[in-house]
Amino acid sequence: MFGEGIVNDAVAIILFNTVVNFKEPVFTVASVPAIAGQFCYLLVMSVIIGLGFGMICSWCFKFLRSLTKSAVVECALVFIFAYLSYIVSEMSSYSGIISLLTSGVFMAAYAWYNLSPGGRTGTTVTFSFIAFLAEGFVFSYLGLTFFSYRHFAWSWHLICVLLFAILVGRACGSMGLIGVLKICGYEKGNPNALTFKELVFIWYAGMIRGAIAFGLVLKIDDNFANKDLITTTCLALVVFTTIVFGSTVGLLSDCLFKKENEEKKLL
């Protein structure tokens, strides 16, 4: 679920930046290839920048062993290299978040193993702590922000239509896509193939996010037509899905897998 969420957020960020930077004032059928090409270009360049800084960081820790004498220095250097990938990408008009994600994945796979034992523990605890605080701040901010937009334009019809589109689109992207792959022989002979219950859980649990979408909406220019309506609609969808699906995902898990888990315990 975490991996899928990261990929979805990354695609949303790049697609948003591509559409915002699109030069033509009107979207037509001919605009699709241009947007697709720009999307691929932003993705590739952002990944290259992230890989570059991840490789430099890994190389430094592998061959410059004097940098691994202090766990504090190691944590600081990991943070600096990751932040540099973000800054360079943003200054080059690419996606800083994608570069940061790429460098982080690369450093976790290579640079982390070149750290000292204290550095490994220190970086793991430090960045887990920062991530926990950041996640808590984001959801707290969303909850408080909900009331600051009460004087903006709201359209409950649009919210309901988009919520239905999200539910259907999510089902097509998870259960539908995996179903098509299974027909084509995906997981054939795999003893641990995904079951329908697991696909339902993936579909349901994938609704518990959206902070990235709201952050992207806030980046829209204030002069854009109906920005207030877009902002309130996105905020309502994020808050609703987070509260409703987040508070009931445990109940769904019990309904789907409780009997199976009890049988495994008996065995």
The pLDDT value recorded for residue 88 is: 93
Helix (H) or strand (E) holding 67: none
Contact 146, 235 (CB under 8 A): yes
In whole angstroms, give the CA distance from residue 80 to residue 97. Answer: 15
Could you give the angle at the alpha carbon of 207 between the alpha carbons of 205 and 213, nearest 5°? 140
Contact 207, 245 (CB under 8 A): yes
Contact 49, 65 (CB under 8 A): no
**183 burial via Cβ count (<10 Å: 0-12, 13-18, 19+):** exposed
The pLDDT value recorded for residue 244 is: 87
In whole angstroms, give the CA distance from residue 148 to residue 221. Answer: 19
Residue 204 in tokens:
């349901």
In whole angstroms, give the CA distance from residue 136 to residue 130. Answer: 10
The pLDDT value recorded for residue 79 is: 92
- pLDDT per residue, tens digit, the chain (267 aa), is 666 777 777 778 888 877 777 666 667 777 778 778 888 888 899 899 999 999 999 999 888 888 888 889 999 999 999 999 999 998 888 888 889 888 988 998 898 888 888 888 988 899 889 888 988 888 788 777 777 877 888 888 999 999 999 889 888 888 888 888 888 887 777 777 778 888 888 888 888 777 788 888 888 887 877 888 888 888 888 888 888 888 888 888 888 877 766 666 655
